[in-house]
Structures are given as structure tokens and as C-alpha cells.
Amino acid sequence: MGTEGGNVRVIAGRYRLEAVIGRGGMGVVWRAADTLLGRQVAVKELGVDETLSEDEARQQRERMLREARAVAQLRHAHIIVVHDVVLHDGRPYIVMELVSGGSLADRLAQDGSVDAVEAARIGLALLGALRVAHAAGVLHRDLKPANVLLEPGTGRVVLTDFGIAQVEGATTLTETGGFVGSPEYTAPERMSGDRAGAGADLWSLGALLIAAVSGESPFRRDSLGGILHAVVYEEIRPPIEAEPLLPVIQGLLQREPVRRMGLDEAERLLRAYVATGSTPQYAPHRVPYSPTERDVPALRRRRVPTRVLLVASALVAALAGAGIAAAALLAGDGDNSPAGPSSAAPGSSRTASATGSPTPTVTVTRQETRTETPSPSAPQGYRIAEDAKGFSLAVPDGFTRSLDGPRVFYMSPGKVFRIGVKVTGTQAGGPGDVQRRAAADGPRNNPGYRDGKVTDTSHDGQEAALWEFSWDGFSAAEGARHTVDLCWEEDGRMYDVWVSAPVGRTGEARAYFDAAVDTFVAAPGR
């Protein structure tokens, strides 16, 4: 029972801790009674690093409370309700609704895997929860079956344990230089020590969907080193049970965040499957299906990976004090403009330039390398355009080429979709400064410019920057549009590739963008 020195523990003068119902790397979860309102609740007692100095411990507690309060503002049917956040005897506590029923992990352990329709239903519920969290700038960072509760009777799916959540852009509430999360469900960009965005949660969802239909994560291995190697480098081979949801899984388990399927597209495909029993294909990541006795085809990249990761840490005492060394050489993909592209159409005068698991501490060092890459082939429905400007890339069948000064466009009939490319010399400040200057000029060059965001990233091991924004289009007939734009430097040149499309067709646009960037090759000597 919730006793301390033989006495019942009551925190904040009202929550009586009655029994431990779970424990993990982030602390202990109690079933408790709210004596003020007369109801049962769950109380999570967050662990504080006892090795920190008094000032460091105070800062850690403040971060925990601040970010827990941010999570408490989230309201959604599929997000655990947080009733209160309190500090008692110097330790933070999160008071939550008590959901009857076990977790998805419990269900998989007791009853085996679920069918594809149930997995899709669970996936849709989690996408709804993530949509609300991400809109509020809150990243979950530990999406896994153990943190998905299934309420019996109602069928309600509840995402819980935001205990290691992070407010986007802020210092993580629990990290002190270590790794936080469950490796089998952790995105490769977090494994490599890069700053991770909302896409990391979508990667975790892809792994969770495989676990739901097969009973285990596709990255389960016998050691931490094996897990890290599988996540960052090995071909991903979903089991045969995942075939009905394969287009979604393929899209979510793209190692480069810039190529990963977005939330809207994942939701669209899952809804289509639930409604029709068939999942539409996702063109840029489509792989022919010819299953072996057990496996469907691996999720492959067309380019040779360009980043080498050396994982040189050991497991902390949390892993049973075994002192297991986890050194493994892992080759993985990099993350992922304009050098003045603007989204202007050719001919325009515009020239804008519940409970967690023990969490190992992992130290990662990264070494960038350059490799020779084979000539890419065109995905189904595309062709490789060998452009006179000194580059080649995949463009959809039926798109035609047009020039607008230094910019090359490949456009769909009616100019609904526009793929743009610009090649220049390197510029001061690199891709990041170039994109930020272009974003600053966005309101002048793109009518109704809004929601602009520049993210520093990488492309094939090179420094890069991704710029996304929406705008009103150049006429009322054209309507609102969305542009995604990647700029990078390579061999003394700056390359800029972007796609502009109607706001309501961003899924198709992202497919064209992914294919163009993934297959882009600069001609030697240009």
C-alpha cells in the first residue's frame, strides 16, 4: 500500500497513494484516492536525478513541472486527462484519470496480435491524439504499446505517459545528456543525437502498427547494440501480417524525416483502409509486393546511406546492472529553399530569391562521409528527367519542362503542381541563412504568405535547410497553395528543389517532392 514509515502517504493534502500499479524509467505510478472529490485517480511520481547538485535538481524539477503543465492543457478523447500537477516534498507528481483496462502491450502479451482493421483503428486514434499534441508544440517521444491504454467496453484508445514529453524547441524535461525513450520505438534521428521534431512520433507509430499486427516491434533484438543497428541501418522487413497496412508503414518508417509520411497522409490512408478494406498506395515509397514465406519486401532507400554513426556507450545500471557494452558501427541516413526559388509560376515577375520502461543512457558520436551513389531509377509513374542545366531527377509522367530565368520548372497539366529547381554558386551563410532570408521576403514575394518555417537539416550528408509555408496563390482562381523547399550545398554549388501545390493536395505534393529530392543527381563537374 502507499505507506511511508508505516503511514499512509497523502500528497498535496488530498491524494492518498494506495497501491503501485506500474513503474518504469520515469518513476512510479500509483492508484490513488482524491479525497477532496471522492474519486479514484492515477498518480505518477516522477523520479529526480539524485546525483544532481541542488541547483541542477531545482532546474530539473522546474522543467518537469513546466512541461507537465503544458501536457495538462491538452484536451482530446484519446489523450489521458491530467487533473493536476503538484510538487510534494521536493518531488513532482502528475495526477491523471484512472483508465480501467490494460495497455496494448498487455493485450499483445495475453491475447496475441490484433487484426489489421483493429490496428488501423488504434492508429487513427493515436494520430488524432498526436495532432492535438503537436499543434500545441508537445512531442510525446515514447509512443509504444505499453503507453497505449485500451478501455474495455467502450473501445476507447488512450495515449498516456507523456512523462518524457518535450515541449518542442525546449530543453527536454528529463534528459541530462542521456538518451530517453524506448529504443525499439525510437526514430533514427533521435538515436543519432539530432534534434527531433514531430516526425519522430510518427516513426514510433509505424513501429507500433507492426507490433500490433505481429506481436512485436520490427526492431526487437537481443541487445541494445542490435536494436540501434536495426533502427539506424538494417533493412526494415515488415512481417506478412503487415501487408494490408504496408503503404502506411512504409511511409512512416522512412529514416529521413523530410521523406517521412505526414500525419494527414497517414490518417487518409488508414481511414481508406477501415472504410474499404484496401489501403491506397503511397507512390514515392511504393515497393512491389512479392512476399516470401514470412516477409514482405524490405523498405529500401535508392541511395547508399551517407552517414556513419558510432555508438560507443554502455548500458546504465537500469538494465539490470549488467554493464553490457553497446558499441556498434551503424551506417544510417541523414535527415533530410530558396537559393532564391520563390513559388512563382514561370513567367511571373516575382523572383524571390501509463508507465515507461527502463531507459538506457546512450552517447552517440557522428562522422559524416561521402559515398558514391548509383544512378537512381524512377519510381513507378515517374521518369528520370536529364536536364540541360546539369542535373537529373524523377518527375511524374505527364509533367512538362519550362524555364523562368535561372529556374527550371516541371509542371503538371494546368500548372496545378509545380516542381522547381535552381542551381547557383554557394552563398554566404549557407543553406540555412539563404532560406531564412527567403522566408523573411516571403510576404513580399508570395501573396498571403503565412505559417513559414525554416528547419536546419541535412541532405545526403550535406548541410541543408527545409522551408515550408502557405500562401494565397497568384490569383483567386489559383487559390491557396503550400510550398515545401529544400536547399543544400554540394561540390561548390547550391541546389534548391521545391514543390508548390494547392493546400488541399499536400499529400500528392509531398510525394512529388520526396521523389524529386530522393533521385536528384548533379552532373559531374557542374
Is 142 considered catalytic here?
A: yes
Alpha helices by DSSP H, listed for 73-115, are: 104-111
Q: Write the CA distances from 245 to 107, 436, 474, integer angstroms.
A: 20, 38, 39
d(CA 70, CA 354): 17
Contacts 24+ apart (CB under 8 A), 450-456: 455/197, 456/431, 456/432
SS3 at position 501: strand
Task: Tell which residue, 460, 515, 463, has the closest CA to residue 484.
Answer: 515
- Sign of the alpha-carbon torsion through 505, 506, 511, 515: positive
Residue 320 φ/ψ region, left for φ over 0, alpha for ψ in the -120 to 50 degree band, beta for the rest: left
User: 332: which 3 cell numbers?
Assistant: 544510417
Tell me how crowded residue 492 is: count the other CB atoms within 10 A of its CB: 8
Q: What's the CA angle centered on 155, arms 149 and 158, to 5 degrees?
A: 30
Rounded-to-integer distance, Cα 526 and Cα 516, Å: 19
CB burial of residue 175 (10 Å; 0-12, 13-18, 19+): middle
Rounded distance between C-alpha atoms, residue 362 and residue 365, angstroms: 10
Set 55, 89, 115, 142: catalytic member:
142
- Please say whether the dihedral angle defined by the alpha carbons of residues 197, 201, 202 and 206, taken in this order, is positive or negative: positive
Count of beta carbons in the 10 Å neighbourhood of residue 40: 12
C-alpha cell at 335: 535527415
Q: 42 φ, ψ to 5°?
A: -110, 135
8 A C-beta contact, residue 211 and residue 147? no
Calpha distance 384→380 (Å, rounded):
11
Q: Which three cell numbers stand for residue 303?
A: 541511395
Residue type at 467?
A: W
Residue-wise DSSP of 195-248: ---THHHHHHHHHHHHHHHHSS-TT--SSHHHHHHHHHTSPB--BGGGGGGHHH
Determine which helix (DSSP H) or strand (DSSP E) holds 112, and give its type and residue range.
none
Determine the Cα–Cα distance for residues 202 and 130; give it in Å rounded to an integer: 9
**Is there a contact between 30 and 2 (Cβ–Cβ < 8 Å)?**
yes
Return the H-helix or E-strand segment holding 459: strand 450-459
* Residues with active-site annotation: 142
